[in-house]
Amino acid sequence: MADTLHITSGDTAGDILAKAGIPGDIFVWRDILYDGPRDSGWPSEDTLHDRALFLEQTTAGGLDKERVLQTLRDQYQKLEQATGYERIVLWFDACLFDQSMLAHILSCLHHKSVLSVDLICVDAFPGIEPFHGLGQLSPEQMASFHGKQLPVTPEQFEFAVVVDQAFATQNATMFSEISAMTAPPLPWVPAAVKRWLQEQPDPATGLGRLERLALAAIQDGNQTPGEIFAAVAAAETPPQYWGDITLWAKINGLAEREPPLVRIEGPAERLPQWGSGEEFGEFNIQALPT
């Protein structure tokens, strides 16, 4: 076994890290930890079942519940085996997706008393504007951070436990307190929490920020998925926490509202969420009168 375990989020970042030539094993965590049912800290078996069902529903059946459940079990087993490494290095960026995942992994490691952990958090890189995350880096750029990791402090572990609890319980009071912090142990968390608060339904329209951005892009005449993605990404404030799967789910939600706000035309009634054979260029999305 290698001396070091590198943990990061998402396959793109994992592939870049693998190509960077940094010694050690690479472990890619896959989950949407800012949303859906879960425990704070180490999960129960019931929670894993609930999350697998949530992810199946979120992807409109694109991700099979049983496959997701096995993936989740394997992930926590791998994390439990992390005690066999001399060092663990966490590679994350500043977006909501990564910060909620970082808090959860630190909370789980704290629960298992695995405290020999280093952290690399990248929130900017020279020449990349706007910077959204690790997936934008080349292997050489990723490798430039090797050796610059810092040990996770006891205060950071304790703060991660609090943040993980806030996301697990969707506690509005905790979110408000965290978002207002000016010098937190994990300095990228308050902005990530603020971005999640913007996703909560607006009292007047019932829409979160990403839904509003998508609807505005469609109303402006962007009708193909590619056009809508580009328009929403341009209007988003970095770092961008969402990818195409999340955006397609939001557009599908706009079509499923009563009354619907958009109409989807194409080879299927809804934009495919995962592993579909449909060509996205064949879809057309139009705004409906409100």
* Residue 88 and residue 187 in one domain: yes
Q: Which residue has the higher pLDDT, 2 or 240?
A: 240
- Please count the structural domains in the chain: 2
**Cα–Cα dist 203/143, whole Å:** 45
Distance of CA 211 to the CA centre of its chain: 17
What integer pLDDT is reported at residue 254 of this predicted model?
Answer: 97
Domain membership flag for residue 24: yes
Question: Is the same domain home to 232 and 254?
Answer: yes
Rounded distance between C-alpha atoms, residue 180 and residue 237, angstroms: 19
Sequence-distant (6+) residues with CB within 8 A of 258 are none
Q: What are phi and psi of 127, to 5 degrees?
A: 90, -5
The boundaries of the domain holding residue 74 are: 4-197
Token readout for 120 is 């690399």
Query: Does any domain span residue 204?
Result: no
CA distance 270 to 248: 9
Over residues 190-229, the pLDDT tens digits come to 999 999 999 999 999 999 999 999 999 999 999 999 999 9
Burial profile 70-101: b = 16 or more Cβ within 10 angstroms, e = fewer: eebeebeeebeebeebebbbbbbbbbbbbbbb
Structure confidence by residue, pLDDT tens digits, 128-184: 999 999 999 999 999 999 999 999 999 999 999 999 999 999 999 999 999 999 999
Read off the DSSP letter of residue 229.
H
Same-domain status, 59 and 34: yes
* pLDDT in the model for residue 276: 55
Q: pTM for the full model?
A: 0.94
Instruction: Indicate the DSSP class of residue 282.
Output: G
Does 192 share its domain with 260? no
Query: Per the omega criterion (within 30 degrees of 0), is the bond before 126 cis?
Result: no
Residues 122, 16 share a domain: yes
Q: Is residue 254 part of a domain?
A: yes
DSSP state of 170: T
Banded pLDDT at 62 (limits 50, 70, 90): confident
